[in-house]
Structure 1
Amino acid sequence: MSLAISYNEAFTVKSIRCPGTVRGEETRVKELIAKLKAKFSHKDGTFVRNLGWLGGSGAIIRVSRLIATVILARFLTKEDYGLAALVLTTNEFVRVFTRNGVVIRLIQTEAERLEELAESAYWLNWLMFIGLFMVQCLVAFPIAAFYDNQRLILPICAMAVNLLTIPLGIIQAALIQREGRFKIIALAELSQISSDNILSAIFALLGFGLWAIILPKILVAPIWVYFMRRYHPWRPSKGFHRHHWGDLIGFGKSVLGVELLNTLRSNLDYLIIGRFLSVEALGVYYFAFNAGLGISLGIITSIKAALLPHLCDVRDNLAQFRARYWQSQKTIAMVIIPFVLLQASLAPFYVPLVFGDRWAGAIPILMLICLSAIPRPFADAASQLLLAVDKPQWDLWWNLIFTTLFAGCLMWGVQGGNVGVAIAVLASHWLCLPLFSLWASRTVFRRLALAGEV
């Protein structure tokens, strides 16, 4: 605001004041511009730039996803949506074991140990991903029996193929994040997910039904691998070995525990609705969740990805460490709060117009779920703070407590149908997450200040 006023003042002065005064006003404008440039080139500029790359690619991704969602909403049935939710939920529960802390360990570790840990992590990942591929294929059969729908078996097994592509690029992805080159991460996600969305729209138009959601995710998996291997030269230089697996697994067990609980919370509402209500009810809820919270979650994920290396970079200096953390919280507030409030308030207008009248019943659910996004990135930032100071076990205990409370809320809310579940999601997040964010930040900085660890 002050910059715009200064420009207007300079324009007016140029018309009616003397040349010396004009030069003074122009100098003041240049000083303001220089201050703005300095603000974005100081230590928090890296976080803002990385967030900008991830957020910018995310914005384009959301446009392609919006187009795909509009087409899917008009060509897929509610049952198709419900079945897709179950397939993707199953895949997500298996994939959570890929987020086992190995990448975080490589981002966080000392430079002199990086190469040897990367070599060990490469072979550990291959063993783990092959095992997960077999597990997902096996669990397809009991899941189909549990939901009494044999149509689930083939797509669950097909989605497992993606697991075999991840080891080809996961070490390079970790090293790229460690180096802060989030431009590459952003471009990879943009290419992969946008292609996924475009193919989904095309397949829906061609009448692929459920497979319009599943098949593109299999076809676009190599895109991410290409980017990771193209833009980082790291390759394994040694044969298979198990050196340092104890270090990697020991560090990652708390991280994996947190990811398991996060995944359980992210999908628990789907599982409860699909089991206690119906597949069609799940389809409505899944649509509302993705149309409402899908965009916000993309932004939240970008914030989470950019924050950890941003904090780890200065963890040896308490003043800078604290300043970066609180500045990131301000950035999160400026990005998330206005966006979520705008999206939720406009839902009654854009849902019937964009997606069709048959989805109008999902509007209250969409609005409630959307509003639940506001406290999420602040809690994610607190979790990244704990990881940065080597306290993943604290994050694990918190997530265990919150998941238990969240499950209780959902079991209470399901008695009120889809809307009741959405109310339970909103209430649990607004009541619990701010308390965790406040506790984590105060505890970490107080302990560091007393112990002189940073």
Structure 2
Amino acid sequence: MLIDRVKQTLSGQFIRNVGWLGAAELVNRIFRLGTTVTIARMFDSQEYGLMAIVYTVFDFATVFTLRGGIGAKVVQADEQDVKTICDTSYWLNWIMCSTIFIIQCIAAFPIAQFYNNRQLILPLCVAAVTYLMFPLFLVHDALIQRENRLKVTAMCNAAQSISSNIIIVGLALLGFGVWAIVWAMVLTTPVWIIITWRNQSWRPPKSFTMQNWQAIANYGKNMLGVDLLDKLRMNLDYLIIGRFLGIEALGVYYFAFNAGYGITNNVINTFMSALFPYICAVRGDYKQFKQRYFSSLKKVTLVAVPIILLQSLLAPLYVPIVFGNKWTPAVPILIMICLSVIPRIYAWASSLLLNAIDKTKINLQINVIFTVGFAIVILAVVSKGIIWVAATVLLYNLILMPAFTMWIHRYVFNKYLETDFERNM
């Protein structure tokens, strides 16, 4: 009986998708570990700080490439609307990605001035070339997710991860510094184009079309706002630390965040990438929708939380051994950042829940409140040092994220009654 229950729990499309994405993340972790160790030993805190700024700018810019909002609309759309949405999304992506490329190249100059480091200008401009490749695979990737064929997405992740980490390690050992990161970003993005085109038959329209762009924009604008606020919140401490405490302090903090949250985030992202298309597929059936959501959340908990706790417990042992004694002062920060991920699991899932039932506006409003509060508390403590910042991140997440998560669950499954749910689907 116990074996049968385990088999039943681990069966189904959601777990198969998680399995493929998880395998890709395992490959990523194996190669990324070598990369992280190499960078930690080759880079000083100054170079780590420069890397943090390049990645932070890239994270912000990718929000505007419509990879989230428009891709989610393709996944969530009714069958009869898919072709029109895909054709229009393709051109929307070109418009937005070209614009972001230009903006980042221009913004590189004030960013360098903000951090008082002109070494940032050229790397930021070269990294922006990546955005010009996005329109060539974003619609294909969204259609693959819609079809729940996340095996293909896993292949893309694994192939890019392997090639990217090899390039980073090789160039870092040759003394390229932050350029090792930049060239890896640019040279490995075509992996997505090649694999998605081979596995999805949709092809871009030959003529320019913007049919029904308003419907796509209306759905995507709130998700864009949510994604932007999420990126702002995830990077706000970097921005504030780099500005008020300097690049070296940012390097120490970013190492702790990358070595801590970076590992657990990959595990959680695996589940969340599979969760959205999995629940959207049954969004017209209230009972099945609810069952899929909570069963998936249970599986995330059983896997992710023990990993986070184990990583936090072992941090004082593995950090000096694996990364070097120079990073030992970052251990307390790493532990607090790891623990702050636990409430984020449920907040992330509840955010996807609202998106699945077209309540993106509510999602946006919640994120505005949370992000404004987060900025205020980080600014209030940054003068006391990076330990205080990490402690504040932990306490803020532990207090507010569960409160928002419980409210969303009550709204969707209690106030948003079954009859309303089915009527609005």
TM range (shorter): over 0.9
**Secondary structure of 2:64's aligned partner:** helix
How far apart, CA to CA, are the structure 2 residues paired with 1:34 and 1:445?
A: 30
How far apart, CA to CA, are the structure 2 residues paired with 1:362 and 1:40?
A: 37
Question: Is the contact made by 2:28 and 2:162 (CA closer than 8 Å) also made in structure 1?
Answer: yes
How far apart, CA to CA, are the structure 2 residues paired with 1:425 and 1:237?
A: 46
Map 1:438-449 → 2, pairs under 5 A: 438-449=406-417
Q: How many residues align?
A: 421
Q: Which moved more, 1:359-368 or 1:210-219?
A: 210-219
Deviation of 1:201 after TM superposition, in Å, equals: 1.1
> Given the two structures, how large is their TM-score scaled by the length of structure 1?
0.90
Q: Which residue in 1 is equivalent to 2:223? A: 255
Residue deviations 1:346-405 (CA, integer Å, cap 9, x gap): 000000000111111111111110111111111111011101111000100000000011
Go from structure 1 to structure 2 and tell me whether the alpha carbon gap of 1:75 and 1:401 turns closer, same or farther (over 3 Å shift).
Answer: same
Q: Which residue in 1 is equivalent to 2:60? A: 93
| 2:316 is equivalent to residue 324 of structure 1 | no
Question: Is the contact made by 1:82 and 1:279 (CA closer than 8 Å) also made in structure 2?
Answer: yes
Map 1:170-189 → 2, pairs under 5 A: 170-189=138-157
Deviation of 1:193 after TM superposition, in Å, equals: 1.7
Counterpart of 1:407, as a letter, is A
How far apart, CA to CA, are the structure 1 residues paired with 2:219 and 2:4?
A: 44
Map 1:343-358 → 2, pairs under 5 A: 343-358=311-326
Counterpart of 1:72, as a letter, is I
Q: Which residue in 2 is equivalent to 1:62? A: 29
Q: Which residue in 2 is equivalent to 1:202? A: 170
| 2:106 is equivalent to residue 138 of structure 1 | yes
Q: Choose the corresponding residue for 2:210, options 229, 242, 264.
A: 242
Q: Which runs of 5+ in 1 are unaligned?
A: 1-30
| 2:261 is equivalent to residue 293 of structure 1 | yes
How far apart, CA to CA, are the structure 2 residues paired with 1:142 and 1:442?
A: 45
Q: Which moved more, 1:392-401 or 1:52-61?
A: 52-61
**Matched-pair identity in %:** 45
RMSD: 1.3
**Secondary structure of 2:385's aligned partner:** helix
Deviation of 1:202 after TM superposition, in Å, equals: 1.2
Deviation of 1:236 after TM superposition, in Å, equals: 2.2
Question: Is the contact made by 2:286 and 2:418 (CA closer than 8 Å) also made in structure 1?
Answer: no
Q: Which residue in 2 is equivalent to 1:125? A: 93
How far apart, CA to CA, are the structure 2 residues paired with 1:34 and 1:327?
A: 17
Deviation of 1:102 after TM superposition, in Å, equals: 0.7
Q: Which residue in 2 is equivalent to 1:83? A: 50
Q: Which residue in 1 is equivalent to 2:370? A: 402
Q: Which runs of 5+ in 2 are unaligned?
A: none
**Secondary structure of 1:209's aligned partner:** coil
**Secondary structure of 1:165's aligned partner:** helix
Q: Choose the corresponding residue for 2:121, options 133, 140, 153.
A: 153
Deviation of 1:415 after TM superposition, in Å, equals: 2.5
**Secondary structure of 1:373's aligned partner:** helix
Question: Is the contact made by 1:133 and 1:160 (CA closer than 8 Å) also made in structure 2?
Answer: yes
How far apart, CA to CA, are the structure 2 residues paired with 1:38 and 1:361?
A: 45
Residue deviations 1:194-222 (CA, integer Å, cap 9, x gap): 22112111111111112122221111111
Counterpart of 1:357, as a letter, is N
| 2:400 is equivalent to residue 432 of structure 1 | yes
Q: Which moved more, 1:51-60 or 1:398-407?
A: 51-60
How far apart, CA to CA, are the structure 2 residues paired with 1:350 and 1:40?
A: 31
How far apart, CA to CA, are the structure 1 residues paired with 2:309 and 2:108?
A: 39
Question: Is the contact made by 1:303 and 1:377 (CA closer than 8 Å) also made in structure 2?
Answer: no
Counterpart of 1:339, as a letter, is I
Q: Which residue in 2 is equivalent to 1:168? A: 136
Q: Which residue in 2 is equivalent to 1:275? A: 243
How far apart, CA to CA, are the structure 2 residues paired with 1:360 and 1:84?
A: 20
Q: Which structure would you say has the larger Rg?
A: 1
Map 1:190-229 → 2, pairs under 5 A: 190-229=158-197
Residue deviations 1:41-65 (CA, integer Å, cap 9, x gap): 4xxx211111111122112201211
> Given the two structures, how large is their TM-score scaled by the length of structure 2?
0.96
Question: Is the contact made by 2:244 and 2:383 (CA closer than 8 Å) also made in structure 1?
Answer: no
Question: Is the contact made by 2:140 and 2:200 (CA closer than 8 Å) also made in structure 1?
Answer: yes
Deviation of 1:331 after TM superposition, in Å, equals: 0.7
| 2:15 is equivalent to residue 48 of structure 1 | yes
**Secondary structure of 2:208's aligned partner:** coil
Deviation of 1:39 after TM superposition, in Å, equals: 4.0
How far apart, CA to CA, are the structure 1 residues paired with 2:345 and 2:18?
A: 13
| 2:293 is equivalent to residue 333 of structure 1 | no
Deviation of 1:122 after TM superposition, in Å, equals: 0.7
Go from structure 1 to structure 2 and tell me whether the alpha carbon gap of 1:70 and 1:450 turns closer, same or farther (over 3 Å shift).
Answer: closer
